[in-house]
Amino acid sequence: MPVKKILHNETNYIEWNSFKAGSWESFGRIYDAHFKSLNNYGYKFTRDTDQIEDAVHDLFVNLWQKRAQIGNPVSVRNYLYKSLRNMLFRKMETQQKFVKLNAEDDYQFHFEVSFDTLLMENEAKKDLQMKMKEAIQTLSARQQEIIYLRFYEGLSYEEAADIMNLNINSTYKLLYKAIGKLQKQVKLVDLMIILCLFASDKALLKIN
Amino acid sequence: MDFSQYIHYTYEDFFNDDAFLLFIVEQKTSDMDAWETFLQEQPYRSKVALAAFETISAYRQQKVFTNEASQAIVFDKITATLTSTQTKLKSFNFQPFFRVAAVLAVVALSAVLYFNYWNKKSIETDFGHIQTLTLPDGSEVTLNGNSKISYAKNFKEGAREIWLNGEALFKVKHINIDTNNIKPSEKFIVHCSDMDIEVLGTTFNVKSRHNQTSVGLLSGKIKIDYDDVSKKQKAFIMAPGDFVKYARQSKLIHQKIINPQHLTAWTTRHLVFQDASLEEMIAVLQDDLGYEVILPEDELNHLKLEGEINVSSVKELLQILSNTLYLTIKTENKKITITK
């Protein structure tokens, strides 16, 4: 079954170095390659598209101005994700400064993915996604974000830790807890039943 | 990818396996073929792997927000921000000798300016920046990029006078009560390099660059004062829908506005041209947006694009130009090179 292609696009070193040397064309190409996925990531934190666009604007203005000082990140995409995240948080913080009541709440933002049910081709899978959706909603913003970085963006623990400013151990712990919670909701047994239904669908198709 | 390595994996193990995750994220055809074979050849032992696969796939079925419509717009904003800050940075990058000279020049100049303009207030926009402001009398002015207006601090007393260099859209507040008896204090005058525009209360667009001025009147009535070919003072009264073009000591060209939206399209950051020559479009790129356009072959200036262009970004404009006029357009920084 086809999973919708994600948007990510890695920038190679030749492009990156030519940008650092001052090529406006390379800068434009890096912008074009990452604009969509950065917006998609930003949209998980806020639905305020102006704020996302402002953060993307500031990020690239900064990037061009500091191009001489920037090193060679292992992954350009991850570097941009991390910068966008910091940029967005700073913007949201200044906006929230005066309504923040609960300082103990470790995360001041929410993180939300919206599922696409239209693309699901059969009922069993829709059912699985519904369960998944309910389970995801019980997780904290932090847990949801790490699940997203890992299972949607396909990042390793190290990469996710770097973007989220965590050390690797806490990343492991965070993901373990998140998966544990998920498993309580989406039990393997249920999954097996769903898969059997799915398999019999296939078998039926063959008979017909 | 060899999937048989996974037959002893538990359900959780899969979520910690980077290679398995990457396989789902990337879904290379070679891997997908191997995956199908694995499922068919080992229908029971592949069950747990399939469960993990379906779980992650269900999660990955998400709505995507690409914001594609804003991609070009945000880039134009970035370009505008960078050019306005770059010119500021450059002006400080002087050699020591010039630095001293510059300081002296600034002191001398500001002394002159102080005595001449100490009671004037001025507003200037950077390339690509559009700014709307309300004047002390309640009139509204929208300034296009690279434009400047100044007016007396005691604007409200006496005639309302504005000096303009660049392009602006005026919405003048009407304060005259009796049209047969217009007091000087009820007038609103826009001074351009080569003409004066006298107004009561109207909406009109003025573009005054390179000693060339054009005025389009949208509503109301205005009078313009200019010098004719014979250097005689002349006046022309414009009615709504009139459009005039004038360069110092030449004949005034009088036309009708065909499409009033075109005249003010720049206020919404749209680039609109009607049957325009390449020269006219280049002028807008250079004057309003701060691009440097290099055209090695002069005769290209006269190339004309029949019909209407209405775009919201420079990128789109250049695309159209290269496609319809068969030109090669290279952009680097804010430099655009156009060749055949």
Digit-coded pLDDT (tens) for A101-160 = 444 444 556 788 888 776 666 777 788 888 888 888 888 888 889 999 999 999 988 899
Would you say residue B114 lies in a domain? no
For range A178-206, the mean pLDDT:
66
What pLDDT is stored for residue A148 in this prediction?
93
Give the mean model confidence (pLDDT) for residues A91-104.
58
Rounded percentage of chain A residues whose pLDDT exceeds 90? 32
Give me the domain span that covers residue A80: 13-96
Q: Is residue B67 part of a domain?
A: no
Is the CB of B60 less than 8 angstroms away from the CB of A128?
A: no
- What is the pTM (predicted TM-score) of this model? 0.52
Same domain? For A73 and A130 the reply is no
User: Which tokens belong to A93?
Assistant: 């913080």
Mean pLDDT by 10 residues, chain B (340 residues): 88 88 90 92 86 87 89 90 65 60 72 60 86 86 90 74 90 69 74 84 85 87 82 83 84 83 83 87 89 88 85 88 88 88
Within a domain: A2: no
| B222 & B292 share domain | no
Which residues are registered as beta bridge partners of B273?
A: B309
Going by C-alpha positions, the residue among A68, A63, A92 that lies closest to residue A79 is A63
3-class secondary structure, B247: strand
Chain A residues in contact with B26 by the CB 8 A cut-off are 154
How far apart (Å, rounded) are the C-alpha atoms in residues B206 and A190?
A: 72
Q: How many CB atoms are located within 10 Å of the residue B112 CB?
A: 10
| Cβ count near A25 (within 10 Å) | 14
Task: Please indicate, yes or no, whether residues B253 and B294 belong to a single structural domain of this protein.
Answer: no
Radius of gyration, CA atoms only, chain A? 20
Q: Extract the runs of DSSP E, i.e. beta strands, from chain B.
A: 120-124, 131-134, 140-143, 148-152, 160-171, 188-191, 195-199, 203-209, 212-219, 222-227, 233-238, 242-247, 253-256, 271-277, 292-294, 304-311, 328-332, 335-339
If one compares B148 and A176, the residue with the highest pLDDT of the two is: B148
**A5 or A20: which leads in pLDDT:** A20
Q: Are strands B188-191 and B140-143 parallel, antiparallel or unpaired?
A: unpaired
- The whole-number pLDDT of residue A36 equals 93
* Banded model confidence at residue A78, pLDDT cuts 50, 70, 90: very high
Residues of A in contact with B60 (CB under 8 A): 3-4, 6, 151-152
Over residues A184-207, the mean pLDDT reads 61
CATH number assigned to the domain comprising residue A201 = 1.10.10.10
User: Average pLDDT for residues A33-40, to the nearest whole number?
Assistant: 94
Integer angstrom CA distances of residue A162 from A82, A151, A156, A169? 8, 16, 10, 12
Q: Which ipTM score applies to this complex?
A: 0.83
Distance from C-alpha of A201 to C-alpha of B287, rounded to nearest angstrom: 66
For residue A44, which phi and psi values (nearest 5 degrees)?
A: -75, -25
In this prediction, residue A27 carries a pLDDT of: 94
Q: In this model, does residue A199 exceed pLDDT 80?
A: no
- Sequence-distant (6+) residues with CB within 8 A of B312 are B72, B73, B269, B270, B271
- Residue A77 sits in the same domain as residue A128: no
How many domains does chain B contain in total? 3
Q: Is residue A106 one of the residues assigned to a domain?
A: no
**How many Å apart are CA B134 and CA B154, to the nearest integer?**
15
Would you say residue A7 has pLDDT above 60? no
- Asked whether residue B86 is domain-assigned, the answer is no
| Nearest partner of B205 among B256, B160, B170, judged by Cα | B170
CA atoms in the 13 A half-sphere facing the CB of B134: 4
Please provide the average confidence, as pLDDT, over all residues in chain A: 79
Chain A window 74-93: which residues touch B at a Cβ cutoff of 8 Å?
A: none
AA identity, residue B334: K
Task: With cut-offs at 50, 70 and 90, classify the pLDDT of residue A1.
Answer: very low
Contact B303, B324 (CB under 8 A): no
Is B90 near chain A, with CB under 8 Å?
no
Q: Which residue has the higher pLDDT, B294 or A183?
A: B294
Q: Which of B51, B82, B331 sits opposite A195 (nearest CB)?
A: B51
- Contact across the interface for A129 and B61, Cβ inside 8 Å: yes
pLDDT at A203 over 80: no
Domain range for B252 is 119-261
Per DSSP bridges, beta strands B160-171 and B188-191 are parallel
How many angstroms away from the CA of B186 is the closest CA of chain A?
42
